[in-house]
Amino acid sequence: MSAEILPAQAPARPYRPPAPLPRTKPLSTLGFMAALRENPVATWGIWNFEKPITNGRTALGPMTGVSSPEGIRHVMVDNVSNYVKDRLQLRVLKPGLGTGLLTAEGESWKAARRTLAPLFAPRTVESFVGAMQAKSQAMVTRLLAFPTGTRINISDEMTRVTFEILTDTLFSDAVDGTSQEFGQAFTRYFENQGKISPLDMLNAPDWIPRFNRFRAQPAINFFEEKVKQIIARRRGLIATPGAVVPRDILTLLLEAADPETGIGLSEAEVGANIVTFIGAGHETTANALTWTLFLLAKHPAAQTAVAREARDAENIAPVDWLDNLPMTRAVIEEAMRLYPPAPTLSRMALADDEVLGVRIAAGSTVIISPYVVHRHRTLWSEPDYFRPERFLPPARDQIDRYAFIPFGAGPRVCIGQRFAMHEAVIVLATLMRHLGFVMPKGESVTPLQRITLRPSPKLEMLLAHADAST
Ligand code: HEM
């Protein structure tokens, strides 16, 4: 790396990245609602990070926070049929994601999951690696045009590259010319939709207008229209004799059929799942990468190690990087531990239950927060510190399956997990082969929860061209 930009020496001690300090006193009802709207990740109290389970009444009704691996396994696996997506979550997500997999329930979810599983099978995901690498390389070429020391908006770059990868693998760049407009509409949708309306918290009826929903509506309309056009065009192509039809996710969606019933997806389901894949897979992966780069900029030794590993991988095919670049994978996993892109998972109990000896009443909400679990005092040593080596083999094998849940767990675990991990490793390794990153002096970011956990303000860093000597 360019010597004047990138410090050659690693800090000797682990780095404690920015995070809101846990509260030491419970908030009043009004205070809780205001804090929840402002930044949900800042509402947690120290007790949440110390106890395996917490129980109480909040402005949102009775709520139980489950943070022990045993309790998480109970809710997400052993007694999963008793827990459905809760009302508040559906109210926030459903207007945009419709009948897609993320918001489906019961039998329709089961059928959709069976139908969509082949789209995310390892072989299929591997067929997308070429597109992931091409888009990553295009980003590097773009960035290399800037001289060392240039200030780059990393949040925007990661949003752009993950969006390009997703649209390319979804519909082979069929968004023609409007990709940026498409991306901006989605970001606007998330920004407005991601702020929880006090009316939703209070379970006010749907007909009372929510300001945020009102603002998100044009973005939702834009999407639905665009996605409809893309589907219609593809159907036309499939019906054209002799036409070359790309084997992307759109074609796979149109061909998909439930292996049990043989029934395919309706037009509305194809559209809803396209929007769902963008909604669930875009900001999440972009934030995972942005936080990873932030942590690497703060920890030059780790940055140098990743850069070396990436350059040494010259003779390894990108499809094998995920399993052969342990340090690259470890920093991404440690970034997702500290800043889980989906920081809160929630469910509603259908019937009375008991978790770790605590009664869960039917209708009450259970919160499983990857953010809390990943920083729990009883599950991790130095939980608030950046220590990627915990994810290097063989230490990684010691991590409880239910203590590290960036992709959730059980039957509703993220269907795009393998896609996201291949993508993150390929983007990061391709970048680190050619470039280094440094935080401008005196600047930092804090985590802000807007459905996903993003850096605030947007992350800007100084670019350094790599030189082979490091
Ligand atoms: C770093 C990136 C990602 C993270 C951290 C992430 C996280 C998650 C989590 C935590 C869940 C479970 C939600 C719950 O239990 O309530 C989930 C579900 C889901 N994710 Fe991801 N995700 C990522 C990338 C992706 C990608 C790339 C796609 C698709 C292209 C995707 C599609 C989905 C879908 C469709 C579901 C719903 C699955 C179901 O309910 O059956 N995700 N994701």
Instruction: Report pLDDT digits (tens) over 84-134.
Output: 998 877 777 776 677 899 999 999 999 999 999 999 999 999 999 999 999
Q: How many angstroms separate the alpha carbon of residue 416 from the centre of ligand 1? A: 6
Count of domains in the chain? 1
Mean pLDDT, to the nearest integer, of 65-80? 98
Residue-level pLDDT at 177? 52
In the reported structure, the alpha carbon of residue 213 is separated from the centroid of ligand 1 by a whole-number distance in angstroms of 23
Q: Which atom of ligand 1 is nearest to the CA of 424?
A: 1
Question: How many A from CA of 239 to the centre of ligand 1?
Answer: 32
Beta pairing partners, 308: none
Q: Residue 55: is it exposed, middle or buried by C-beta count within 10 angstroms (0-12/13-18/19+)?
A: middle
Residue 11 within a domain = no
**What separation in Å is there between the alpha carbon of 10 and the centre of ligand 1?**
34
Q: Is residue 4 part of a domain?
A: no
Pick the atom of ligand 1 nearest to 100's CA. 35
Q: What is the CATH number of the domain that holds 118?
A: 1.10.630.10
Residue 304 in domain: yes
Q: pLDDT: is 314 or 308 the higher one?
A: 308
Over residues 183-241, the pLDDT tens digits come to 666 666 666 655 555 556 555 555 555 556 666 777 777 777 888 888 999 999 999 99
Give pLDDT, residue 387.
96
Residue 417 Cα to ligand 1 midpoint, Å, equals: 7
Taking the centre of ligand 1 as the mean of its atom positions, its distance from the CA of residue 312, in whole angstroms, is 31
In a domain, 19, yes or no: no
Average pLDDT over residues 351-367: 96
Residue 20 included in any domain: no
Rounded average pLDDT over 257-271? 93
Q: Which atom of ligand 1 is nearest to the CA of 104?
A: 40
Residue 18 included in any domain: no
Q: Which atom of ligand 1 is nearest to the CA of 76?
A: 15
pLDDT at 192: 62
What residues make up the domain containing 154?
Answer: 29-465
Q: Do residues 463 and 146 touch, judged by C-beta distance below 8 A?
A: yes
Q: Which residue has the higher pLDDT, 134 or 314?
A: 134
Q: Which residues line ligand 1 (CB under 6 A)?
A: 101-102, 113, 276-277, 280-281, 284-285, 288, 341-342, 345, 406-408, 412, 414-416, 419-420
User: Which of 414, 425, 428, 454 gets mutated to test ligand 1 (max ligand atoms within 8 A of its CB)?
Assistant: 414
Does residue 397 lie within any of the structural domains? Answer: yes
pLDDT of residue 29: 86
Which H, E and C letters describe the chain, residue by residue?
Answer: CCCCCCCCCCCCCCECCCCCCCECCCCCHHHHHHHHHHCHHHCCEHHHHCCCEEEEEECCEEEEEECCHHHHHHHHHHCHHHEEECHHHHHHHHHHHCCCHHHCCHHHHHHHHHHHHHHHCHHHHHCCHHHHHHHHHHHHHHHHCCCCCCEEEHHHHHHHHHHHHHHHHHHCCCCCCCHHHHHHHHHHHHHHHCCCCHHHHCCCCCCCCCHHHHHHHHHHHHHHHHHHHHHHHHHHHHHCCCCCCCCCHHHHHHHCECCCCCCECCHHHHHHHHHHHHHHHCHHHHHHHHHHHHHHHHCHHHHHHHHHHHHHHHHCCHHHHHHHCHHHHHHHHHHHHHCCCCCCEEEEECCCEEECCEEECCCCEEEECHHHHCCCCCCCCCCCCECHHHHCCCHHHHCCCCCCCCCCCHHHCCCCHHHHHHHHHHHHHHHHHHEEEECCCCCCCEEEEECEEEEECCCEEEEEECCCCC
> For residue 2, what pLDDT band results from cuts at 50, 70 and 90?
very low
40-49, 73-82, 269-278: which range is least confident on average?
A: 269-278
Examine residue 3 and state whether it is found in any structural domain, yes or no: no
Q: Are 27 and 35 in contact (CB under 8 A)?
A: yes
